[in-house]
Structure 1
Amino acid sequence: MTVFLNPGEYFVGDEGYRISTLLGSCVSITLWHPERLIGAMSHFVLATRGRTLETPDGRYGDEVLELMIGELAALDIKATDCKAKIFGGGNMFTYQATGTPIDIGKRNGEAARRLLQLHRIPIASESLFGRGHRKIVFDIRTGHVWSRHAEQSLK
């Protein structure tokens, strides 16, 4: 069964699932446990909103990683035993009114790296940055993630 993630969503499932999404400046982190064939994938919009007392929100990288780690722990899986992959962080915008580049994608991708390092989750691979969008498909049965990057010029 295939699950499609919209921005701000995440999914944790077993080998019966494939998870897909479409990324621009957003980032997906996949976590895969090779022995248990359990995986998780996020589609976050911004790196952080700053710590608040509000309910964790999948739109923010730091919060969605905590949500995924929590759901994996409920299945008796340590995140440190998973393999991570990171995708997205494309440059989808040209310039703000001030003439400075908007680098949301780069900030998101760098935040994903930092968060995984902070949690001691090994990064197996990544496909980050550049211009344009990516289509991502994560097959939990095999741990493979296919990424199709469609470059676009910025005007």
Structure 2
Amino acid sequence: MSKPAIPREVYLQPGDLHFAGAGTRIRTLLGSCVSLVFWHPRHRLGGMCHYMLPTRGQPSTRLDGRYGDEAMLMLLEAIHARGTRPAEYQLRIFGGGNMFPNLRSKAHRHVGQQNVDMAHQMIAKHGLVNHGQHVGGTGHRHLIFDIWSGQLALKHSAHLSGSGRQTGVHSA
């Protein structure tokens, strides 16, 4: 499908998620946070979340997109509400950067790595397939997802030692 004349632009803040049809573009900016991106190539449906922490660690009656395990459940609910099955979607993972690489702790993994680990755990738990990822490292990622085509654009600004930064543009 070609680009809509006027696509609907959605910007995800931390804790947000959005699931929509072909006329939508979703953007976000990730540091240690992680985005799960689902795309259905035949129906041109898709969704993205932007979670901050792997889990809240205590049960709640209401799902919250700030937590990876709950954001995954919210996206799966949206998929089922559209009459589709999660296995029909291409799923990709982005983010999980180490935003403070100079603060090293041998006892704990940084929150970005914990977020990536949760994404992998949830994918395995729900029997899904990871079709690609751009995770870890340092710095932040600007991610754009065009649901009409499934095209993902990624700009990664990685921290280098010292004050310089390296920027790369990738297409997923």
TM-score, normalization by structure 1: 0.93
Deviation string 1:33-67 (CA, Å, 9 cap, x unpaired) is 11110001000000111240331000000001101
Residue 50 (structure 1) aligns with: 57
Larger gyration radius, structure 1 or structure 2: 2
Residue 143 (structure 2) aligns with: 136
TM-score, normalization by structure 2: 0.84
Q: Which runs of 4+ in 1 moved over 4 A?
A: 98-102
**Secondary structure in structure 1 of the residue aligned to 2:159:** coil
Q: What percent of counterpart residues are identical? A: 35
Instruction: Report the count of equivalent residues.
Output: 154
Gaps (5+ residues) in structure 1?
A: none
Q: Give, in whole Å, the separation in 2 of the partners of 1:18 and 1:69.
A: 19
Q: What is the alpha-carbon root mean square deviation over aligned residues?
A: 1.7
Among residues 109, 117, 127, which one is paired with 1:120 in the alignment?
A: 127
Residue 95 (structure 1) aligns with: 103
The higher relative CO (CA closer than 8 Å, separation ≥ 6) is in: 1
Gaps (5+ residues) in structure 2?
A: 1-7, 163-172
Residue 33 (structure 1) aligns with: 40
**Secondary structure in structure 1 of the residue aligned to 2:76:** helix
* Amino acid in the other structure paired with 2:67: Y
